[in-house]
Amino acid sequence: MLIESFEVEVFTPPCEPGAERIAARAHLTADISGVLPLLNATLKGAVYHRQANALTWKQIREMAEAGVDIQSHSLTHPYLTKRKQRSLGDKYAEWLQRELAQSKKILEKQTGQKVQFLAYPYGDYDDHVTKASEKAGYAAALTCDFGRVRKGSDPLRMKRFVIDDTMDFAAFRRYLGATPLRLAELTPKPGVVDPGISTVSAKIPSFENLDPQSVGMALLSVGSAVPYSYDAKNGAISLAIHEGIAALQARYHRAVVWGTDMKTGKRVEATWVFRVPDPASKKKEPAAAPTRVLAAVAAPISASGGSPKK
């Protein structure tokens, strides 16, 4: 038979309380990669792997040695609360401790690094789970509860923000504590630009409110820092690309301007996106072709952003 065994699982996606999904996994006795395109076209969501779709310990050690922080997500990724594991009865406490402690122990042995953090599978936790996590040696744990982690927050109930493909750069930066900064006289303006442009610049209308030493500018598509010039007398800031924008490898470019508000002490910033025409395209693109921008075109402008899923 082609199917050796199969499992069907009803689960709640991470950080989507109340939602339910069905996952079916089949273990096959033959290689079907040749007909996989047909299966995927017929059965939406079908994915075939010749081997387990997971990192190997060798890959994990390589990542850890390169500076990636490898932390725990439990031993087998189950729901951890007792209400979800009623069938365990009196064995629940022992099972829970194994899920927490063994994951930590194995990761520390394999990576050679201390494991101090846990992300609760499916965001499922309660008072008993947090106490068991602390007993297992974790210093902090991540929930799926929405919100900021502040000074004095319970380290075993750390809240988070959902970062998904609907979130733009400005919204992400605001999550990190930045507030919008108004800009004017952008060069180049958002959209498709002349590839010969060699200067990126803007003016900060509220420059008198900013600490001059904190103001900066960067072009994120450039791999290294580009020197910029800031005039604290009129709020003009610019950076030069001596070979021109077209000499850079990327087509899309994001400029960021930031500073610190002297009154509040908070970081403020603005960002906008522009792009060079595709050299392979024979069609002339309009100078004001629509593009996704994070700043309004009219002056003065401010960065704008989306909102997280709730």
pLDDT band at residue 291 using 50, 70 and 90 as cut-offs: very low
Residues 121 and 177 in one domain: no
Cα–Cα distance, 146 to 123 (Å, whole number): 11
The first and second tokens of residue 162, run together, are 């959902």
pLDDT digits (tens, 9 = 90+) for 219-243: 887 767 788 999 999 999 999 887 7
- pTM of this structure: 0.56
Residue after which a domain boundary falls, among 160, 185, 214: 160
Helix extents (H) in 124-163:
127-135
Range of the domain at 26: 3-42
- Do residue 285 and residue 191 come from a single domain? yes
CATH number reported for the structural domain that contains residue 286 in this entry: 2.60.40.1220
Q: What is the mean pLDDT of residues 6-32?
A: 68
How many distinct structural domains can be found in the chain?
3
Domain assignment present for residue 85? The answer is yes
Q: What is the CATH number of the domain that holds 153?
A: 3.20.20.370
- 70 & 130 share domain: yes
Does the residue 9 lie in any domain?
Answer: yes
Q: Is pLDDT at 35 greater than 80 in this prediction?
A: no
pLDDT of residue 58: 93
Each residue of 86-116: pLDDT tens digit?
899 999 999 999 999 999 999 999 999 999 9
Shared domain check, 75 and 142: yes
Q: What per-residue confidence (pLDDT) applies to 226?
A: 84
Q: Give me the pLDDT at residue 107, please.
A: 96
Same domain, 215 and 246: yes
Taking only the tens place, the pLDDT of each residue in 128-159 is 999 999 999 999 999 999 888 889 999 999 99
